[in-house]
Chain A
Amino acid sequence: MPAIEVERQILPILGSPNQGARFYNPDLPSSEPFVPGHRTCAGCGPSIQYRMTSKAAGDNTILVGPTGCMYVANSSYLCTPYNVPWAHTQIGSAGSFTAGVAAAYEAMIRKGKWKGAFPNIICEAGDGSASDIGLASISGALYRNHDCLIICYDNEQYANTGIQASSRTPYGGMTTFSPPGPMVPEAKTLFPKDLARMMAAGHPHCYVATASVGYPIDLMNKVRKGLNHKGAAYLMIYTPCQKGFVYETPRSIDLGRLVVECGLYPIWEWNPEKREYDYSFRPQNMRPVSEYLKLQGRFGHLHAEHIAKLQTFANQQWKMMGIELPEALIQAADAKNLVNMATASAAEAVAQTL
């Protein structure tokens, strides 16, 4: 069989803003595949992510939306905010559907039924789909190396059904499935699944990266790198959820920055050629986790030892990235050093005297 010339789209990488003292975004792509009028909540993190992603991908794009916020809230009454072809699939079949779309285009090009560049095929799965229900099918799509980009927009819970815990919900996060109480004062006792590393370790031929809405240009560049990568790519993007995290809406981008600066969401890239992690991304500051936690109502019940436990977790993440820890962060990992915060037993004693 003669080799088929597949015309591919190569998307240019955007220049970095904030060079030196200046703040000025680079020239952004003009295409706008995501349009207003959708019914997501005000300040919705996933929809910020969706907009940035689709803007980076351009108009020759096909979006796949497994069940999740970005399907439920956006596609009611038979219309969607997507100005490009978009299809819904079941929550468990994100990977298989996307693989099918990619395979179909490969076949159509092979048979001469599709003229033009190979489209950017992007699957926008929520963390429920990507880390729990659809994990197997996504792993399959990555393993078979279909030319597509699978994004997990990680709002750390099942949000469209009313905030239930997923395997990406952080330790201490309150959801309707993990309410805090006298028996389990920290609400969620398990630490989140390290999804992106799992994908990188299991499918080392894929481009895998993490990103956050707090760093829009970095996010858009990673989307473009993933699309330019010949084969499957996987992105995990932090997207705050205003209803689930319980914060003031203007903080959406701010939280995206803070979560990285607190070390709870390391930003890295997996380089499939060299088969190694690239930890060169550095946030401007390093902060204790309490600065991130205190902005959110879902962590309002935490006590000193829980915060210290989260700080220990964050410190492990910094170490994993090979970053030396400042003394203040090591101190903050000890509950004794967290002043003005009651321990769980002290709080319980107060409840019993009453």
Chain B
Amino acid sequence: MSTKGTKIPERLMIPFAGITPAPTQNGQDLFPTGNWRSIRPVYRDKLPPCNNACGTNEKIQGYLDLVKRGKYLDAYALIKEDMPFPSVTGRVCYHPCEQACNRGKYDEAISIRAVERFLGDLGQALTRDVVKPGAPNGKKVAVVGSGPAGHSAAYQLARLGYKVTILEKSPKAGGLNRGGIPDWVLPQNVLDREIERLVELGITIKTNVEVGKDVSWDDLKKNYDAVVLAVGLTEPNSARAEGENKQGVLFGLPFLRDIGMGTSKVKVGARVAVIGGGNTAIDCAREALRQGAVEVTMITVEAHPQEMPASPEDLHDMKEEGVELMHGKAMTAVLGDGKVKALQLHPAKFSGAINASPINIDREAPAERFAVDNVIIAVGQHASLAWLPQEFKTERGTIKIDRFGRLGDTNFFAAGDIVQLGAGQPLMVVNAVGDGKRVAFNLDKVMRGVTLEPRTIPVDVIFDLNRMNMTYFPHFPRVQQTLLPPKSRRKTQQEVIQAFTEEQAVEEAGRCFSCGTCNACDNCYLVCPEPCIVRDVRSNGLYKILVDYCKGCRVCIEECPTGCLEGVPELDFDTGVVRMDTAFAVSPGLHGRQAEELRNLGDRAPKNI
């Protein structure tokens, strides 16, 4: 309240019978209308579903918000907290975030991966990375394997101040990123740049060093304070058909790996069959076209394209390029005289889990002959763990770890596909990155002698659109990434999916609902009738509610577009008698400052009434 310009007669400067204070120049302390209130608005940031779904819990809402305000470098720095190579995942990730996106229930999910790629490419262009190594703590850690999990673990450990050495058995670092992903998805120079970034962080990369051959388990134990095993699944599974040793029979991952490493001597024939229905099989089929095959047929046990454990977008792109699909068939034999001439196929059914392969082949039915020049078998991988002490092996052929990624009481940790195979989650780059990150943090805790604690489950994830105010979000189509035309893709190693321009990235980031999280839209500040919502600078987390005056009308809660504001009954604020002076946010979230200030209200000098 203001009495500016009002001349108050002396006789009126006395309290009104103890109810209302006399008019004074103390201004706003005059009429604390906050005691009318029964429900209090509280800012409480929730977890957006994209952050929750991401394998490494990238702060997706956070960086989209920064991108839409043009703060690209801040956005890149935020993404780098959880993800060492956004330029890689921006191209290869199967984006569980986009499947979880709330906007997908409203019109179309946000193209998060494309924005991530935009930021990753921006980071690649920087002469110096935003990430700095931590202060050295004198401890040495070996990371075995330089694939996604190893890369991520090494990166996080270097940020924590460890002296990290990566041991890689191939002549070039990169692991599955290099060997398992074709160039037309992830160009080699992008990955090379990300590996350079690791070297810039002070990480030593030793290539052509294979654990079990060049270094032993005991060497690792002796020479390093701790070790992260991220060896991945290197050996291809067999399709359990006769004659798989014939010339012209190729295996999926080695086929891609040799092309990726530049050591491939394979020349594929005109007719190629691919056995398998997963993502690797799709990559093999598309790579075969680019290696000169004319007719590529994909033979899957699944009866329908929808059942294939593959990304629908990649499947669509593959069909566009002209790969034929043959469903409900299993290869039972490779026919030919020393060299593949044809395949023997039987009808088959697939039933059950993705990783377990319970395939029912109907061998009674008449066999089918399918003439080919080459066959690529891409039916999964397994690990090669001869060097590992027996006590740490599981019956699935993976490494036995506790829930913190640790091997027993040793200082050995394991991360990535080698522990995730059969653990229930799909094997994806982003899951391996997340695993590497968490294992790095656990390793750090063990080194510092801190007790390990299991991951906390996110308390409040917004899945329900009714918790937000949808009137503020008009329907708006997703910005599509341009693709190379299918005709011209077939013979080139050029990237198929094109990058976003700056305008496209900003437009797409602008579609974000910012589910459950304040994005400083100023709406509460604008609609408050009192107005008792104040801010000095416009920034998330800096809005403050003057609880002395808030009448609890809840207009701000109703009009909050993101659902960050919540109504909390005054009775939930349990301390003290004068409720309006003792409130604090139930969970601080990003509004910790407000909560802190409200908590300290008790120390404030009593009002002069």
Q: Which of A77-85, A221-229, A328-336 contacts B (4 or more CB under 8 A)?
A: A77-85
Shortest Cβ distance from A27 into B: residue:
B538
What 8 new A-B contacts, CB under 8 Å, besides A21-B473, A34-B531, A38-B530?
Answer: A20-B510, A20-B511, A28-B525, A36-B546, A37-B30, A44-B529, A51-B530, A253-B559
Question: When the two chains form their complex, are residues B4 and A83 in contact, meaning their CB atoms are under 8 A apart?
Answer: yes
> How far does the Cβ of A139 sit from chain B's closest Cβ, in whole Å?
30
Interface residues of chain A: helix, strand, loop or mixed (majority): loop
A185-224: which have CB < 8 Å to B? 216
Question: When the two chains form their complex, are residues A249 and B554 in contact, meaning their CB atoms are under 8 A apart?
Answer: yes
Contact residues in B for A110 (Cβ distance below 8 Å): none
- With A47-B529, A78-B8, A216-B527 known to touch, is A25 a contact of B521 (CB < 8 Å)? yes
Contact residues in A for B471 (Cβ distance below 8 Å): 254, 257, 284
Question: When the two chains form their complex, are residues A80 and B555 in contact, meaning their CB atoms are under 8 A apart?
Answer: no
Q: Which of A42, A47, A51 has the most CB of B within 10 A?
A: A42
Question: Which 4 pairs between the two chains have the least Cβ-Cβ distance?
Answer: A21-B476, A43-B553, A42-B553, A250-B558
Contact residues in A for B528 (Cβ distance below 8 Å): 48, 51
Q: Mark A20-42, 1 if CB is under 8 A from B, else 0.
A: 11111101100010111111111
Does B300 interact with chain A (Cβ within 8 Å)?
A: no
Contact residues in A for B32 (Cβ distance below 8 Å): 37
Does B161 interact with chain A (Cβ within 8 Å)?
A: no
Shortest Cβ distance from A74 into B: residue:
B1
Question: When the two chains form their complex, are residues A35 and B28 in contact, meaning their CB atoms are under 8 A apart?
Answer: yes
Q: Mark B506-518, 1 if CB is under 8 A from A, else 0.
A: 0100110000000
Contact residues in B for A284 (Cβ distance below 8 Å): 471, 474
Contact residues in B for A51 (Cβ distance below 8 Å): 528-531
> How far does the Cβ of A288 sit from chain B's closest Cβ, in whole Å?
17
Name A's B-contacting residues (CB within 8 A).
18, 20-25, 27-28, 32, 34-45, 47-48, 51-52, 77-83, 85-86, 216, 242, 249-254, 257, 284
Interface residue from B12, B28, B36, B549 paired with A78 (Cβ < 8 Å): B12
> How far does the Cβ of B196 sit from chain A's closest Cβ, in whole Å?
36
Interface residue from B1, B68, B475, B476 paired with A80 (Cβ < 8 Å): B1
Contact residues in B for A42 (Cβ distance below 8 Å): 36-37, 529, 551-553
> How far does the Cβ of A155 sit from chain B's closest Cβ, in whole Å?
13
Question: When the two chains form their complex, are residues A81 and B555 in contact, meaning their CB atoms are under 8 A apart?
Answer: no
Question: When the two chains form their complex, are residues A37 and B31 in contact, meaning their CB atoms are under 8 A apart?
Answer: yes
Q: What's the tally of chain B residues with a CB closer than 8 Å to chain A?
A: 53
Interface residue from A34, A78, A250 paired with B555 (Cβ < 8 Å): A250
User: A85 CA to B7 CA in the complex, in Å?
Assistant: 13
- With A25-B521, A78-B12, A80-B1 known to touch, is A252 a contact of B68 (CB < 8 Å)? no
Question: When the two chains form their complex, are residues A79 and B529 in contact, meaning their CB atoms are under 8 A apart?
Answer: no
Interface residue from B3, B33, B68 paired with A22 (Cβ < 8 Å): B68
Name B's A-contacting residues (CB within 8 A).
1-6, 8, 12, 16, 20, 23, 27-28, 30-33, 36-37, 68, 471-476, 507, 510-511, 519, 521-523, 525-532, 538, 546, 549, 551-555, 557-559, 561
Shortest Cβ distance from A32 into B: residue:
B531
> How far does the Cβ of A70 sit from chain B's closest Cβ, in whole Å?
12
> How far does the Cβ of B509 sit from chain A's closest Cβ, in whole Å?
9
Contact residues in B for A48 (Cβ distance below 8 Å): 527-529, 555
Contact residues in B for A83 (Cβ distance below 8 Å): 2, 4
Question: When the two chains form their complex, are residues B519 and A36 in contact, meaning their CB atoms are under 8 A apart?
Answer: no
> How far does the Cβ of B67 sit from chain A's closest Cβ, in whole Å?
12
Question: When the two chains form their complex, are residues A24 and B3 in contact, meaning their CB atoms are under 8 A apart?
Answer: no
User: A18 CA to B470 CA in the complex, in Å?
Assistant: 12
User: A47 CA to B530 CA in the complex, in Å?
Assistant: 7
Interface residue from B20, B475, B510, B553 paired with A252 (Cβ < 8 Å): B553
User: A134 CA to B62 CA in the complex, in Å?
Assistant: 53
Question: When the two chains form their complex, are residues B2 and A79 in contact, meaning their CB atoms are under 8 A apart?
Answer: yes
Would you list 26 pairs from A and B whose C-beta atoms are within 8 A, ordered by A residue? A18-B472, A20-B507, A21-B473, A21-B474, A23-B473, A25-B523, A25-B526, A35-B2, A37-B32, A38-B31, A42-B36, A42-B529, A42-B551, A48-B527, A48-B528, A48-B529, A77-B30, A83-B4, A250-B553, A250-B554, A252-B527, A253-B527, A253-B559, A254-B471, A254-B558, A284-B474
Shortest Cβ distance from A258 into B: residue:
B471
Contact residues in B for A80 (Cβ distance below 8 Å): 1-3, 6
Question: When the two chains form their complex, are residues A21 and B6 in contact, meaning their CB atoms are under 8 A apart?
Answer: no
- With A42-B553, A48-B555, A216-B527 known to touch, is A37 a contact of B4 (CB < 8 Å)? no
User: A82 CA to B519 CA in the complex, in Å?
Assistant: 30
User: A207 CA to B309 CA in the complex, in Å?
Assistant: 65
Contact residues in A for B473 (Cβ distance below 8 Å): 21, 23
> How far does the Cβ of A71 sit from chain B's closest Cβ, in whole Å?
14
User: A43 CA to B8 CA in the complex, in Å?
Assistant: 30
Question: When the two chains form their complex, are residues B36 and A36 in contact, meaning their CB atoms are under 8 A apart?
Answer: no
Contact residues in B for A27 (Cβ distance below 8 Å): 538
Question: When the two chains form their complex, are residues A79 and B23 in contact, meaning their CB atoms are under 8 A apart?
Answer: yes
User: A38 CA to B551 CA in the complex, in Å?
Assistant: 10
Q: Which of B5, B522, B531 has the most CB of A within 10 A?
A: B531
Interface residue from B1, B33, B510, B553 paired with A79 (Cβ < 8 Å): B1
Contact residues in A for B27 (Cβ distance below 8 Å): 35
User: A22 CA to B511 CA in the complex, in Å?
Assistant: 6
User: A22 CA to B522 CA in the complex, in Å?
Assistant: 13
Q: Which of B2, B12, B519, B559 has the most CB of A within 10 A?
A: B2
User: A62 CA to B531 CA in the complex, in Å?
Assistant: 19
Question: When the two chains form their complex, are residues B554 and A39 in contact, meaning their CB atoms are under 8 A apart?
Answer: no
> How far does the Cβ of A45 sit from chain B's closest Cβ, in whole Å?
8
Contact residues in B for A41 (Cβ distance below 8 Å): 551
User: A37 CA to B530 CA in the complex, in Å?
Assistant: 7
Question: When the two chains form their complex, are residues B558 and A253 in contact, meaning their CB atoms are under 8 A apart?
Answer: yes
Question: When the two chains form their complex, are residues A39 and B555 in contact, meaning their CB atoms are under 8 A apart?
Answer: no
Contact residues in B for A22 (Cβ distance below 8 Å): 68, 510-511
Question: When the two chains form their complex, are residues A38 and B552 in contact, meaning their CB atoms are under 8 A apart?
Answer: no
User: A37 CA to B34 CA in the complex, in Å?
Assistant: 9
Shortest Cβ distance from B29 into A: residue:
A37
> How far does the Cβ of B166 sit from chain A's closest Cβ, in whole Å?
42
- With A22-B68, A25-B522, A249-B554 known to touch, is A77 a contact of B28 (CB < 8 Å)? no
Question: When the two chains form their complex, are residues A23 and B16 in contact, meaning their CB atoms are under 8 A apart?
Answer: no
- With A18-B472, A21-B473, A77-B23 known to touch, is A38 a contact of B554 (CB < 8 Å)? no
Question: When the two chains form their complex, are residues A77 and B511 in contact, meaning their CB atoms are under 8 A apart?
Answer: no
User: A260 CA to B170 CA in the complex, in Å?
Assistant: 68
User: A23 CA to B475 CA in the complex, in Å?
Assistant: 12
Contact residues in A for B474 (Cβ distance below 8 Å): 18, 20-21, 284
User: A39 CA to B484 CA in the complex, in Å?
Assistant: 65
Question: When the two chains form their complex, are residues A79 and B3 in contact, meaning their CB atoms are under 8 A apart?
Answer: yes
Question: When the two chains form their complex, are residues B559 and A23 in contact, meaning their CB atoms are under 8 A apart?
Answer: no
Interface residue from A37, A44, A216 paired with B28 (Cβ < 8 Å): A37
User: A154 CA to B557 CA in the complex, in Å?
Assistant: 24
> How far does the Cβ of A114 sit from chain B's closest Cβ, in whole Å?
16
Shortest Cβ distance from A75 into B: residue:
B6
